[in-house]
Amino acid sequence: MQYKKVKGPLAPGWYFMQGDEACAEGALAAGCRFYAGYPITPASEIMIRMVHRLPELGGAFIQMEDEIGSISAVIGAAWAGAKAMTATSGPGLSLMIEALGYAVITETPCLIVDVQRAGPSTGQATRPAQGDMMMVKWGAHGDNEIVALSPWSVQEMYDLTVKAFNFSERFRVPTFLLADEAVGHLRETLVIQEEVEVFDRVKIPGKPPFGTEEVNGVPSMPAFGEGANLLVTGSTHDPWGFRKTQDSVVQARLTERLIRKIRDFKSEVIETDSHLLEDAEIGVVAYGFTARAALAAVKTLRKQGVKAGLLRLVSIWPFADEAVAALGKRCRKIFVPEMNRGQIAGELAKFTPTPVIPLPKTNGEVIEPAEIVEGIRRNQ
């Protein structure tokens, strides 16, 4: 595949940054040169970093009048050729959902960072949560296959942003970085390498931009101003972009390809991180900031003689179904601590008959290792 190494804009070395800042730098390293956004706690710092950095790198920035304007401008810029992004939190993402569906059907690469906060609705703006896990997959009407990654450190706020951009270009799909207020506002050291591996969208002159001969292909993507006479539309369309709102063959082919172009290649995206799983009898599945506490909990449990192990989900969508099934075969119970009422726990249950016990916490505070240990000991 067309990955290539490029020199990032920052000098290599150790840095001490806030998670939101690291996310912005990761985006710039991946080649992002367009940002449109709207202020919202706890994601505004990403926007502030971008307003300073983008002009230094010849990019464009605009604070739009609302989140709908922001995601719209991102999609418009993507079709003008940009690697484009926005960052928001739950309430803003709710406003972007219609545009998300538009990006899916037009196969527009772009990145949406969701620094999750306690909800629902206005909720607790400055408090962490992991409540939007299902929303990014099922929020837009119709069937959507998207890519979502969940960082657990400032390092991953950088690295996974690069990966998310790459997946958006590789699959021509909107991708998500599902961060949370805790990792977004956390300050930690991270290492920035001299080079990053990036993927640029494939452009083949003369090829149709909205269809492929393969049932699961990703089409070529020209930009405006190249003489391609692009017909970009959110209506169902044929491979050249002509609206086909009465054609059932076109609708069937399009809806299937939009799903399969990612699902059939999910092994390229799915990433998990295993700790102490080799002989584990009790499995813990966690992601994002909560996984830090889960790792500490698992180590504590081991000291207490419980054979616990952690499966950390780095990618959330497409879902790591095989890893979960394998875990279920090894363990007699699986615990899922998360800062929501059991969104990912419910998903796990689809892929393993092993009992899945959710450990939800939605008081606006991060989950602590002792809470996970207690939850597991009580339900062993």
Partner 1 sequence: MNQIIYEMINDQAFPTPFCPGCGHGILMNAVLRAFAELEWDLKNTLFVSGIGCAAWIPSPHFKADTLHTLHGRAIAYATGAKLFNPGLKIMVISGDGDLSSIGGNHLIHAARRNMDMTVVCANNSIYGMTGGQVASTTPLGSLTTTTPKGNLERPFDLCRLAEAAGATFVARHPVATPIPLTRTLKKAITHKGFSFVEVLSPCPTQYGRRNAFRSAFEMIQGLKSTCVSVEKAKGMSDEELAGKVVVGEFVS
Contacts of 213 (CB under 8 A, 6+ apart): none
Give the CA distances from residue 98 to residues 92, 176, 298, 365, in Å, rounded to whole numbers and listed in that order: 12, 15, 40, 30
To partner 1, the closest distance from the beta carbon of 48 in angstroms equals 18
CB 28 within 8 A of CB 104: no
> Does residue 225 bind partner 1 (CB under 8 A)?
yes
The site map against partner 1 for 283-312 (x = CB under 8 A) is ------------------------------
Helix 289-303 with 369-379: angle, nearest 10 deg: 60
Helix 154-171 with 19-30: angle, nearest 10 deg: 30
> Does residue 76 bind partner 1 (CB under 8 A)?
yes
From 10-18, 60-68, 128-136, 340-348, span contacting partner 1 (CB under 8 A): 60-68
The site map against partner 1 for 30-59 (x = CB under 8 A) is ---xx-x-----------------------
CA atoms of 147 and 315, how far apart (whole Å) = 8
> Does residue 279 bind partner 1 (CB under 8 A)?
no
CB 159 within 8 A of CB 23: no
> Does residue 168 bind partner 1 (CB under 8 A)?
no
Beta strand pairing call for 195-199 and 272-275: unpaired
To partner 1, the closest distance from the beta carbon of 59 in angstroms equals 8
CA atoms of 339 and 360, how far apart (whole Å) = 6
> Does residue 227 bind partner 1 (CB under 8 A)?
yes
To partner 1, the closest distance from the beta carbon of 167 in angstroms equals 21
Give the CA distances from residue 367 to residues 7, 35, 187, 288, in Å, rounded to whole numbers and listed in that order: 38, 32, 18, 11
Q: Of the two residues 254 and 323, which places its CB atom closer to partner 1 in the complex?
A: 254
> Does residue 256 bind partner 1 (CB under 8 A)?
no
To partner 1, the closest distance from the beta carbon of 309 in angstroms equals 46
How many residues are present in the chain?
Answer: 380
Residues that bind partner 1 (CB under 8 A): 33-34, 36, 60, 62, 64-66, 68-69, 72-82, 84, 98-99, 102, 223-225, 227-235, 241-243
